[in-house]
Structure 1
């Protein structure tokens, strides 16, 4: 029933046995002290914040599907977990798993440690696990890479095999779950890049300060602005207009407000403007939505030593202070607490910042680029955003169009993302089939470019061979196509009778089943609950092409 055991799994089993790991033991309590765990979580704050942001969007799906999702660091320490505990006994009896060390030395062979060590996705089925408690689980793990392509941790998706399903379902379940965790790991990695502050300390020939701050992003060479703007892929008039404005505004010193739905690429525009305006200056990023409300003030303005419980002894500069001489990119500005908005306004007007607990104001010279996916003007009318700050931010405004308004760019982006991912993964590049292109173009892409990128990564991991078929796309895209077939928006109202005819619904169901099974009639017949002969007859009757 299970494939032949791989060499890395066999080697891990031997190491666990040699170490005397008890396969029947369940680690019930954290092995770390509260202080040790806090220090580790502090060091992994960007990774944890990015993962929790993803979990907040997927929590209902995880629970509905009976999944448990773990975030585990390279040492095997569980940092975050979420999901349906009731279906995964005996874990509910032991409470939170955060702080538990789950590595080869404590639980034996496991998917997440293999994934971290091999730097690639790994899936273990049931008995491949060393610990008996996991031997009725499917474990799918994928490494999360930081901006320097180092493994920051791993995401582990734990599930139970579906029982009583038809032939081939377990294989499809395994493929789908592995592709899902790979997509989630890519999303977390992208979120880390968006959320983490990035700056390199300016160094001088006098050698006053040659230290590099914890979150470092290398400076790009001057004169590369054109190349960065060229990385904004698209031939539509809407995206060309936005790029033209960005090039023009990059020559000014005024604040810029980038507006557009989530996932449209606002930070890419901000980085391009930075390269044109001050390529040798720092580029500091703060995402207001991803930062705990009670930490925003200290992150933005910094603090003096001993100014509050838990503060570092020597204090810490704020992100605005670190942006001196460069660009300060404030993402999701609409989520900034109302009580902090007048403080930010004062900093923008005076170009001075005072640390929390401090008495002395420090001069700062930076250019602000703010971004939001909300309607700030409407928030002003509803007293949810300060009017004076709104006008200060929106001196220059660039709207980045959603993907549904630039359909001609979608396949260009698909090709780019597939090529980029396959080069990084060292795998051959598959092609999109004509029918897959139709599905992709028919979808509205509410998550925009970010969702499209994750969908292409999912498809590359699921597809077999060198052709990506509609079956390889995420299920929400396939289901959306079915919805449009059943209820087309262009269908005349006076033809509602034709739309609801059983023959129309039946033909749509057969087309969908054939698409989902990659034109395999026996599998499609099973999905539809029909015999093969009946399905062949109906395919001929409805003139459906195989």
Structure 2
């Protein structure tokens, strides 16, 4: 149920009318309640259905001391995160006639801070720690009603259902767990009716947000400690299907084997809507998973992780005997992140075809390791889970992104590297009319909006500025964003695929990438092997690139010479598949100068001479008029061509064998300018 904003705040001017409506409601009269906010009207009806006594004068009696200690122990995470915030409330609310209360998800108050005189008054109605203020016990009140609707509420004076608390005004909102969104508590600001202020609700909402933020940091820190504890065991079980759950039963990581087993059984992995397995949560009396385990999970697979006698998580190890034959042959790999829902069906062997689907037919390979990566990518293409593609520059991450996208809606790509922060913001989120000088009339939609219903591919996400990352995190967590220069949020609906050549875990450790954003984008990861580890693909790919380049230039089919193939296979390919393509394109361009009718294409001497050197050579001084092959990268070749042509771009395009418009496009892509090239920038 979504409550309109105007329904959230009470209006003291309606006090007399609300009181009259309550008296009629209690008598059972069918009179009009049109003067009531719908929020209050629905709450009163729930109270009547629950047989709440409208003449009740106070809340129930507090729980026993032992039970209260147990309650606080079980809610230790929220209490720990809220401690400094509640301490500030003690100072802020003193002498204001208001209290700040923190309750758990059942409505039982755990802590109370604020004006001491008001605390004495609150005790007279049992508005104090240890008392349950749910709607079913205390009728309409901010704590209980906020829990009932899951949204911020303000209840003033006569809007309370029970007669004994109509002298009070209260504002509250729920506190949600930052990882799965479940309600874990309530923040309430209460006082006698004379303390009414619409700002009380804003204070409750901002306080809940601060508690959630602290809980997020604490939870992510616990997860890191959990990962550190299990990493050694994880590597030791390299050929087992493994999954790691935290103490709340939420999935932290699952390696590729576990991910494949679950997906082959029909499960859809989606960590962006983090699901839980309640049976794996730590219980008050120790580790008791059996009653609530889903039917796909066997108790003998579970290994509780204990630290100083405390259950901190659960490691699941699926034995070899339960794996499908095709999955048993998978090599050991680094752990990858996935999510498991709480009601998954039993895992049954499913047929796995060895043929590549048409989604990945454009990826040419005969390498067994690469074929296994494609097989996993095919599984991911069936879900909407976020994917992080890892691999060196030039391995073909975008080719995999397009395959995983599988033509499901629009595909929109944005490279996060090489753009200024301001340009990246406008490209990603768009901007409104008048957002800045020169802004397009009517504004401009960004990549997020263009990707609606499809896939947004963020290449080189590791280059995203640190101060921009919170905006992306908000987009992924809340599904909304703001155009530059606008104040109205827009909804987003897309599947995220990100890619990077960086080690994001190390970037997190170095403070250059947000930990919480890393967890959001790394729902599951695919590591694409570099070209040097699959030498059998070199000649295969080279032939494909050769035929494409010859066709582009209107030349008949040809083949690489034996010397060319030998040189290609002897090279280490630091630029991977992209560099190989550029080498072939450059060699074709240079071979076009030779006599026509040749049936073989050789590799440029510049490439064969530098085959042992994996770095991009600098331009030799005094040799500006020589344009080498594209083995050294398109941007280097373009720079040399422009210098050789003394800034004449028409001549540079002719030397490169491309159209002038293509040269302009490539210069823009690499951030090159004629002035910058000629000045050595």
TM-score by length of 1: 0.45
TM-score by length of 2: 0.36
Q: From the CA coordinates, give the structure whose radius of gyration is larger.
A: 2
Q: Which has the higher helix share?
A: 1
Larger RCO, structures 1/2 (Cα 8 Å, 6+ apart): 1
